[in-house]
Amino acid sequence: MSDSASLRDITDFAQALALEAGELIRRERDNNTLRTDYKQQTELVTHADLMADEFITGAIRKRFPEHRILSEESMPDLSQAEELETPLWIVDPIDGTVNYAYGHPQVAVSIAYAEKGRVQAGVVHAPFPGETFRATKGEGATLNGKPIKHSGATVPRDSLFATGFPYTKDNLEPLVKRLDAMIHNCRDLRRIGSAALDICWVACGRLDIYYENVSPWDFAAARLIALEAGATAGHFGDVPAGYPADLYGRDILISAPAIWEPVRQILRSASGYD
Ligand code: IPD
Ligand code: CA
Ligand code: CA
Ligand code: CA
């Protein structure tokens, strides 16, 4: 690790940033008219996404000037994830921007820290319900300081799953096929609107399964939290050779351990991978 900070110090720092950014996000929604814009014509972004991004990335740069940052709103250069030598921060200043703009509570700040492509620390903070999920590698996962664990689900049929859909609607057919297969094989679906919280909810047993195609900032912190809560995390598709799996966002599947393989088979077959 560069700098003399321990991984626990790093997690504390990430948590402090996530809490402060969460306050900013709450304040902006409570006190102001949200200013919204579109990225690539379809994806909503608010002024609070940009303010939170500036605050978090500025604070990381100040404390760890030699580290790299991959952040959705200011530094979304995915090649950062491929360069493994320098420590990397992966930031989603607001995960759940559409929820945020509509006044829904499912909104999170997500901050992860990786060394050599392996995520070592992760914090996901939901400022509206006041819930902070946190994990340091090898030390378990907590929600507001209390240890959490996956649901222990044993069969897909009795499992509740969450997923999401991309902003661009170019190629929805494979997603609809997967959805069809999952709805037929599982108890029910929730589309909550924040990938980071979906995964943290698998970590604490409020959901049994999550799958989606997302970007590293959507899942990097939450994936570690789920793993540290004993859930199984992997991909139902292939990870390109040499790409760090901790940061590869296509075909992610995270679930209670006993159902991971059966669900992987359902998703692979619906995707035409087998
Ligand atoms: C989105 C949310 C959503 C997921 C999308 C993400 P954003 O992130 O996590 O649940 O379905 O794929 O892009 O844009 O709100 O940060
Ligand atoms: Ca996101
Ligand atoms: Ca975001
Ligand atoms: Ca976004």
Note the pLDDT of residue 3.
46
Shared-domain flag, residues 20 and 141: yes
pLDDT confidence of 35, banded at 50, 70, 90? Answer: confident
Domain edge (last residue) among 88, 117, 147? 147
Asked if the structure places residue 1 within a domain, the reply is: no
Q: Per mean pLDDT, which range of 41-45, 150-154, 205-209, 213-217 is the poorest?
A: 41-45
- Quote the domain boundaries for residue 46: 7-147
Asked if the structure places residue 2 within a domain, the reply is: no
Say how many Å lie between the CA of residue 71 and the centre of ligand 3.
Answer: 9
**Sheet order of strands, 118-126 included:** 68-71, 88-95, 108-115, 118-126, 131-136, 141-143, 146-147
Question: What's the CATH number where 241 sits?
Answer: 3.40.190.80
Cβ atoms of 132 and 144 within 8 Å: the answer is yes
Query: Ligand 1: which of 218, 219, 252 to mutate, most ligand atoms within 8 Å of CB?
Result: 218
Domain edge (last residue) among 98, 128, 147? 147
The verdict on the CB of residue 46 being under 6 Å from ligand 1 is: no
Say how many Å lie between the CA of residue 45 and the centre of ligand 4.
Answer: 6
Shared-domain flag, residues 33 and 111: yes
DSSP letter, residue 81: G
The verdict on the CB of residue 136 being under 6 Å from ligand 1 is: no
Residue predicted with more confidence, 32 or 42 = 42
Say how many Å lie between the CA of residue 25 and the centre of ligand 2.
Answer: 15
Shared-domain flag, residues 98 and 140: yes
Shared-domain flag, residues 161 and 263: yes
Complex ipTM more than 0.85, yes or no: yes
For the cut 90, the answer to whether the pLDDT of residue 33 exceeds it is no
> Which tokens sit at 153?
């689900």
> Which tokens sit at 11?
């997690």
Q: How many domains does the chain have?
A: 2
Q: Per mean pLDDT, which range of 13-17, 31-35, 181-185 is the poorest?
A: 31-35
Shared-domain flag, residues 166 and 207: yes
89-115 pLDDT per residue, tens: 999 999 999 999 999 999 999 999 999
53-62 pLDDT per residue, tens: 999 999 999 9
Domain edge (last residue) among 147, 172, 203? 147
3-state secondary structure (DSSP) of residue 49: helix
Q: Report d(CA 267, CA 1) in Å as an integer.
A: 37
Helix (H), strand (E) at residue 210: strand 209-212
Shared-domain flag, residues 76 and 12: yes
* Closest among 86, 81, 101 to 25, alpha carbons compared: 101
Angle at 204 between CA 201 and CA 206, to 5 degrees: 55
Average of per-residue pLDDT values in the chain: 96
For the cut 70, the answer to whether the pLDDT of residue 204 exceeds it is yes
Shared-domain flag, residues 184 and 128: no
Shared-domain flag, residues 193 and 67: no
Shared-domain flag, residues 174 and 267: yes
Question: What's the CATH number where 141 sits?
Answer: 3.30.540.10
Residue partners of 3: CB distance under 8 A and separation at least 6: 63, 64, 66
For residue 98, the ligand closest to its alpha carbon is 1
The verdict on the CB of residue 166 being under 6 Å from ligand 1 is: yes
pTM: 0.97
Alpha helices in 42-153 (DSSP H): 47-63, 97-102
For the cut 70, the answer to whether the pLDDT of residue 2 exceeds it is no
Shared-domain flag, residues 139 and 12: yes
Per-residue pLDDT, averaged over 154-159, amounts to: 98
